[in-house]
């Protein structure tokens, strides 16, 4: 009676249940488990664990077996099976479902397999992770230009300086400020100013390495950290940026708008704080503006 009730429950259960004997042959399985393996129940009965896996792999159905070396996969799996009395793991199927699987061994080496559908939880987990990533990106990015914002810059620049100190490398900080930007806004309007900010970022990006830290520091002010680049080489980068802007004109509503930047450069000195480095680059930028703009000035070594 009890036996019949149990069999009834198992045959109706949405969870997969199976028993592998000590020779690793499936001696019991309910319909839900047959669905997970995508093997007809009559055929599944009596198959060995290895046969089931080979079948899924060959047919590209049921359990997703992602390997180019199935023998190695099977060896690894069989080493883990029966290695502990109870283990739990996640597995997914070719059609995109996820299962929380548990294997419980008895003293004779038989295994009770239980598979619970966790597809929905996995979907939610993924959506949550994506949202978290999106929010993180938003918190680190300047909305208008799409480059890093000041907050992210301060965080990353600190890390870069520490690393450069540790490996004894020289790095430079560039501070850039668009020339005559107020006039541009006044003449063409604020939207043109916004477009100019985007355009300048696009042009500057073209002259940087993928891993250079480039951020919007304030309204029309930008900062760049060039790791492993001493000031004399940073001057070439600054000049390339100025050249890029000199040869690429922004067309805004048919009007050609020429853009230029003044640049202050400071070479990081061992153990110097980010704030001092920023101050030195800012002073150099001030000198570049005073010297007639559209040029770059390198900060003198600090007296500290």
Ligand X SMILES: Nc1nc2c(ncn2[C@@H]2O[C@H](COP(=O)(O)OP(=O)(O)OP(=O)(O)O)[C@@H](O)[C@H]2O)c(=O)[nH]1
Which residues of this protein are in contact with ligand X, per CB under 6 A?
144, 177-183, 185, 190, 193-194, 197, 219-220, 289, 293
Q: How far is the CB of 67 from ligand X (least distance, A)?
A: 52
Rounded to the nearest angstrom, the gap between the alpha carbon of residue 210 and the centroid of all alpha carbons in its chain is: 15
Which of 220, 221, 267, 269 is catalytic? The answer is 220
Residue closer to ligand X (CB basis): 73 or 252: 252
Helices (H), the chain: 2-12, 31-37, 41-44, 49-59, 70-80, 119-140, 150-167, 181-188, 190-205, 231-247, 274-290
Residue closer to ligand X (CB basis): 24 or 220: 220
Residue closer to ligand X (CB basis): 102 or 294: 294
Say whether 233 is catalytic.
Answer: no
Secondary structure of residue 81 in the 3-state scheme: coil
Residue closer to ligand X (CB basis): 118 or 259: 259
Number of residues that make up the chain: 304
Q: Are 195 and 250 in contact (CB under 8 A)?
A: yes
- How far is residue 301's CA from residue 280's CA, in Å, rounded to a whole number? 9
DSSP of 261-290, one letter per residue?
A: EEEEEEE--TT--HHHHHHHHHHHHHHHHH
Helices (H), 13-64: 31-37, 41-44, 49-59
Residues annotated as part of the active site:
220
């Amino acid at each position: 009676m009890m036996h019949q009730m149990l069999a009834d429950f198992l045959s109706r259960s949405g969870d997969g249940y199976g028993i592998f004997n000590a020779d690793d042959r499936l001696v019991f399985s309910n319909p839900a488990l047959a669905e997970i393996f995508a093997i007809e129940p009559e055929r599944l009965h009596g198959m060995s664990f290895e046969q089931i896996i080979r079948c899924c792999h060959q047919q590209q159905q049921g359990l997703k077996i992602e390997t180019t070396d199935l023998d190695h996969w099977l060896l690894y799996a069989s080493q883990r099976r029966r290695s502990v009395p109870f283990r739990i793991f996640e597995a997914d199927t070719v059609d995109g479902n996820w299962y929380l699987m548990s294997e419980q061994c008895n003293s004779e080496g038989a295994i009770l397999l239980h598979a619970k559908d966790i597809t929905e939880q996995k979907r939610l987990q993924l959506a949550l992770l994506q949202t978290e990533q999106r929010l993180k990106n938003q918190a680190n990015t300047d909305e208008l230009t799409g480059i890093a914002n000041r907050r992210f810059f301060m965080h990353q620049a600190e890390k870069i300086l520490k690393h450069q100190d540790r490996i004894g490398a020289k790095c430079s900080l560039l501070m850039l400020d668009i020339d005559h930007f107020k006039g541009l806004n006044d003449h063409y309007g604020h939207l043109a100013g916004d477009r100019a900010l985007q355009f300048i970022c696009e042009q500057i990006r073209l002259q940087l390495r993928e891993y250079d830290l480039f951020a919007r520091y304030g309204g029309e002010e930008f900062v760049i950290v060039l790791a492993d680049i001493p000031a004399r080489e940073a001057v070439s980068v600054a000049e390339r940026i100025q050249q890029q802007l000199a040869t690429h004109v922004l067309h805004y509503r048919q009007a050609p708008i020429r853009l230029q930047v003044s640049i202050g450069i400071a070479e990081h000195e061992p153990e110097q704080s980010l704030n001092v480095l920023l101050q030195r680059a800012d002073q150099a930028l001030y000198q570049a503006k005073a010297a007639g703009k559209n040029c770059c000035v390198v900060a003198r070594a600090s007296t500290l």
